[in-house]
Amino acid sequence: MEEHRLSLRMSTLVFTLSIIIIVLSYPAQPLALNHSPKFLGKFAATARTHSNSEPPPQFHYEKRYFQQRLDHFSFSELPTFPQRYLISTEHWVGPHRLGPIFFYCGNEGDIEWFAQNTGFVWEIAPRFGAMVVFPEHRYYGESVPYGSAEEAYKNATTLSYLTAEQALADFSVLITYLKHNYSAKDCPVVLFGGSYGGMLAAWMRLKYPHIAVGALASSAPILQFEDIVPPETFYDLVSNAFKRESFTCFNYIKQSWNEIASTGQTNNGLELLTKTFNLCQKLKRTKDLYDWAEAAYSYLAMVNYPYPAEFMMTLPEHPIREVCRRIDGGPAGTSILERIYEGVNVYYNYTGEAKCFELDDDPHGMSGWEWQACTEMVMPMSSSQESSMFPPYEYNYTSIQAECLKKFGVKPRPRWITTEFGGHDIHATLKKFGSNIIFSNGLLDPWSGGGVLQNISESVVSLVTEEGAHHIDLRSSTKNDPDWLVEQRETEIKLIEGWISDYHQKNEAMFDM
């Protein structure tokens, strides 16, 4: 796992993802707002172009392509497509020593971007003598069917093979191929994933237990589906992240939506908003400004790391703290909208390089995640009047269905994911049928509300950190890592060592027999 135009402010994530159509009601004027958080949005679409766009020197890999079946679940002769994957055997001790294969389950975006932001896997590979593989998720990055993204995204027929089930089958087929190609039949496979990728890692361990010995699923909201967690959970957690820094900041943001609405209704109001928020193009409707600001707040909650980072944008340590410092710190006479601009500017322009801001992050109006959220990845979202800093709205499936029919000609299947992978009564299910899964979550991450936050059994464990943000444990280690993060990663390493050790012991016992 990862905006309200049928996409998660995410995903990817991670997580990074769901199409929710909602209504924001103001006492003076009701406003229809199509909005829902995505895991990663545009940031995962292509590799970033800032200073981190090239693979860090220590991450050496080859880019390869594997011809995948378009449909794993039929026997029709459909065209194959090239699935890109990144592979490194630099530290692999080889098949004779049963070196493990570390396999990252690709998210909703360019796989190189995920590889560059998953330093934990690369850093522990030498310790385990592991091969490292990062496969790209179908329909994302360069791994598109039908010869081009334009053809692949053409209509519901060509998009119909973009599902989590097909992606997991891709991963399983690729692993089987690699094991054969490298004479590594007896080498254990460990799955990794963050956000939507974390969901895939957990689901793959459950659906294909013979393929991999275990999975580290970081920030994986596998419970963010119908009638499992309250729909207001995500936005309540985003709001809490700001409230814990400053109640005054929280209130300024809460008041700003009405201020934007009322300003937009005045003569020349849209021009004033355009100038106040330094937009490159004249604002056409206040909804676009809502979405832009909401995206910043949601992403800030996700990447509220305790050190400077460039995961999505170049941001300081504890970025929400800096946002609230600027919102609260305006001199006397500073308007609410001016305060909000100063705060949001931390997210969109902390380096000061942007001259103005473009609001449209998807000019073509279609992304892979929009399709997934309109079919099976339906994650209910709402905003409460009492505890949310966002305008109140209710989850409205009827509106979702209408929008998906209009955009893609399909009806969502909100109960399919939990039918396919489980979710309801997850503790009993995982206790009976699951093993060797780590669910890691940081409570600062708004997606943690849809995560597994309690230990299920001795081998299905939950690692929860109060100060953790979106899959922080999978990021590269830094000299500024807090002690709790260092300890969390060591715990994960010990659990993975245990999985591999148990696998070898069982193999030896079978060989002796």
- Structure token pair of residue 111: 């796989």
Pairing assessment for the beta strands 21-24 and 31-34 based on DSSP bridges:
antiparallel
Question: Catalytic one among 18, 195, 256, 440?
Answer: 195
* C-alpha–C-alpha distance, residues 452 and 170, integer Å: 26
239 in catalytic set: no
How many CA atoms does the CB half-sphere of 118 hold within 13 Å?
30
How many CA atoms does the CB half-sphere of 304 hold within 13 Å?
29
195 in catalytic set: yes
Closest CA to 306 of 485, 441, 448: 485
- Structure token pair of residue 358: 């473009």
DSSP string, 357-409: B---S-TTS--HHHHHHTTT------B-TTT-SSPPB-B-HHHHHHHHHHHHS
Question: Catalytic one among 445, 471, 473, 481?
Answer: 445
CA distances from 372 to 19, 27, 203 (A): 8, 34, 16
Question: Catalytic one among 4, 137, 470, 471?
Answer: 470
To 10 degrees, what angle do helices 247-265 and 336-349 make? Answer: 110
445 in catalytic set: yes
* C-alpha–C-alpha distance, residues 425 and 88, integer Å: 39
Which residues are identified as catalytic? 195, 445, 470
